[in-house]
Structure 1
Amino acid sequence: MKGFKLFLLSSSMLMASAQGFATNDIAGTWRSIDDKTGFSKGIVEITKASDGTYSGKIVEVIPRPGYTPKATCDKCSGSLKNKPILGMTVLTGMKQSSKNDREFSGGRILDPLTGKTYKTKMKLNSSGSRLSMRGYVGVEVVGRSQTWIRQD
């Protein structure tokens, strides 16, 4: 009986620690997947500021078959024109929803290949391992979606 109680206790502890990995926080390192090709585009590191907003910068650009990544954002405008894509902040102003702690909105995302900036919404899956990101202009219906996979 003692062995069975020890088994139950250790099983409960393992389940509790596994649930601890499921998080409602999007801070971390994410692999972006191109919605058109299905290939990885890069690694984005998302951080949370003291005001509760999230931002993300490109920490790795991933070459893919038939495509050599650009080193600079030649189609960007303003202060980002011809700046290195590696290290560039592409996600700004994301905030966690007060209604659903797995949803994030209010941010903007830059596509360094086109130089265009889009409004964005994100939704984290229940395990905290996948992030569905929707970039759009004006209304959400007019946009594109990507899946980002947690790397840490």
Structure 2
Amino acid sequence: MNKKKLLLATLLVLTGSAFAQTSPAGLWKTIDDKSGKERSLVRISESAGVFSGRIEKRLDPNAPANEVCVPCTDDRKGKPVDGMEIIRGVKKNTDDAALWDGGSILDPENGKTYKVRLSPADGGKKLEVRGYIGMPMLGRTQTWIRVE
């Protein structure tokens, strides 16, 4: 009987770990879709079912220290890029359990905000981040790599 309980507990832990890895929550290395270069580390966190993402560290050695978002037009204008919240208001898609959307993503280089769709891939080791205007077909996708 104890072996059955241990097996059941192990299965529950493994199932929970697999689920957690398919969530967008975690630390991600962003990869520029045009240059293929590593850009930053972004931590996506969840609070009450709403996901947000913040730049923890920029990886470009040439990035100016203490850089602020000059082109931003919202409450992030003039704020430091390091530590900036670039993903806001994302929730699990009610029609497609593999997607998180409904929020926005900011490109601090141009100050523009786009709708965003997050889709974990490769068992949660990668995250497809699609920024778009209007329909998801009109946008760009970056593939981020899970760090932890």
TM-score by length of 1: 0.80
Q: State the distance in 2 between where 1:138 and 1:112 align.
A: 20
Extract unaligned runs of 5+ from structure 2.
Answer: 1-5
**1:104 paired to 2:100:** yes
Q: State the distance in 1 between where 2:139 and 2:123 align.
A: 26
Letter in 1 for 2:90: M
- Residue 125 of structure 1 deviates from its aligned partner by 1.5
Aligned pair count reads 138
- Residue 16 of structure 1 deviates from its aligned partner by 7.9
- Residue 107 of structure 1 deviates from its aligned partner by 1.1
**1:84 paired to 2:76:** no
Moved more, 134-143 or 15-24: 15-24
Letter in 2 for 1:69: A
**1:59 paired to 2:53:** no
Identity %: 36
Extract unaligned runs of 5+ from structure 1.
Answer: 1-8
Contact 2:24–2:118 (8 Å) recurs in 1:
no
Q: State the distance in 1 between where 2:60 and 2:24 align.
A: 25
Q: Which residue of 1 aligns with 2:132?
A: 136
- Residue 27 of structure 1 deviates from its aligned partner by 1.0
TM-score by length of 2: 0.82
Q: Which residue of 2 aligns with 1:45?
A: 43
Letter in 1 for 2:92: Q
Q: State the distance in 2 between where 1:35 and 1:62 align.
A: 15
Contact 2:116–2:132 (8 Å) recurs in 1:
yes
